[in-house]
Amino acid sequence: MSVVPGREGAAPALEVAGVGHRFGARAALSDVSITVERGRFMALLGPNGAGKTTLFSVITRLYNNQEGRVAIFGHGLDREPSRALARLGVVFQARTLDTDLTVEQNLLYHASLHGIARGPAKARIAALLDRVGLAERRGDKVRTLSGGQSRRIEIARSLVHEPRLLLLDEPTVGLDLESRAGIVRIVRDLVRDEGLSVLWATHIFEEIEPGDDAVILHKGRIVARGRAGEIGAPGEGLETAFRRLVAEPGRQAA
């Protein structure tokens, strides 16, 4: 794949350093530091309310970066937001396709948001729909698609502008086992074949492989990090370690 030239050099795909975020008096994130290396799959684990969505909103510049620094391939969100965002693809937790428009119209709209003319966009979209196995649904309205299919379309959409870093916020929520596996496979193939860097928020352990990087976010703080297979006490396993780390007296961890 294309090597990004110039001073991007060897900067990591995503660098989140000491990020904090407050909503009034409530601290949603405190001193969060995460580095996604190029070509790596990183799992962001956390129970509901841990701050995953807030972190994603800061990285995507939906919220102002109040404290700390975010850089995408070396481009700081504060100084070069356009360059940073141009290298970033996002799949949000909520469904964000226009259900009244066709699959292709949705993707073309997204391409235009990144300044890609219709000609090259159409070719790119055809290839991506092929990749997610939905080429034949190009002219169908999104409302006729199943949940798993619209998710795949959203992944295709997030890739239209050829980002090198992909953020996915619990992309498999509400899907059946088979669709879930399909989504995971598509993203893992992208990492393997194209060297895409991925930050994948989830609380489903089956989606994580022992060789992935992982961080556990709890109450807005990072409580563990490392290779997914090595987090926790020896022999404990990721899932048990996670439950122990986020356990609270009087409340069952999600």
Partner 1 sequence: MTTPAPARVPHLGRLDAVGYLICLGGIVRRELLRFFNQKERFLSALVRPLVWLFIFAAGFRNTLGVSIEPPYQTYVLYEVYVVPGLAVMIQLFNGMQSSLSMVYDREVGSMKVLLTSPYPRWLLLLAKLVAGVSVSIVQAYAFLAVAWFWETDITPAGYLAALPAFLATGLMLGAIGLFLSSLVRQLENFASVMNFVIFPMFFASSALYPLWRIREASETLYWICEANPFTHAVQLVRFALYGQFEPLAFAVVTGTTLAFFAMAVIAYDPGRGLMARRGGPAGDTP
Residues 6+ apart with CB under 8 A from 92: 56, 154, 169
# chain residues binding partner 1, by CB under 8 A: 60
**Taking CB under 8 A as the criterion, which residues in 15-54 touch partner 1?**
23-24, 28, 48-54
Longest Cα separation, the chain = 58
Please pick, from the candidates 92, 171, 187, 232, the single residue that binds partner 1 as defined by CB under 8 A: 92
| Minimum CB distance to partner 1, residue 204 (Å) | 15
> What's the CA gap between 253 and 242, in Å, rounded?
9
Q: Which helix (H) or strand (E) holds 126?
A: helix 118-131
**Taking CB under 8 A as the criterion, which residues in 103-142 touch partner 1?**
105, 108-117, 120, 123-124, 127-128, 130-131
Asked if 44 and 212 touch (Cβ cutoff 8 Å), the reply is no
**Taking CB under 8 A as the criterion, which residues in 186-205 touch partner 1?**
193-194
| Cα torsion through 190, 191, 197, 202, rounded to 10 | 90
Among residues 36 and 72, whose Cβ is nearest to partner 1? 72
| Minimum CB distance to partner 1, residue 27 (Å) | 11
Among residues 109 and 181, whose Cβ is nearest to partner 1? 109
Rounded to 5°, angle at Cα 171 from 80 and 239: 105
Binding site for partner 1 (CB under 8 A): 1-2, 4, 23-24, 28, 48-54, 57, 60-64, 81-88, 90, 92-98, 100-101, 105, 108-117, 120, 123-124, 127-128, 130-131, 161-163, 193-194
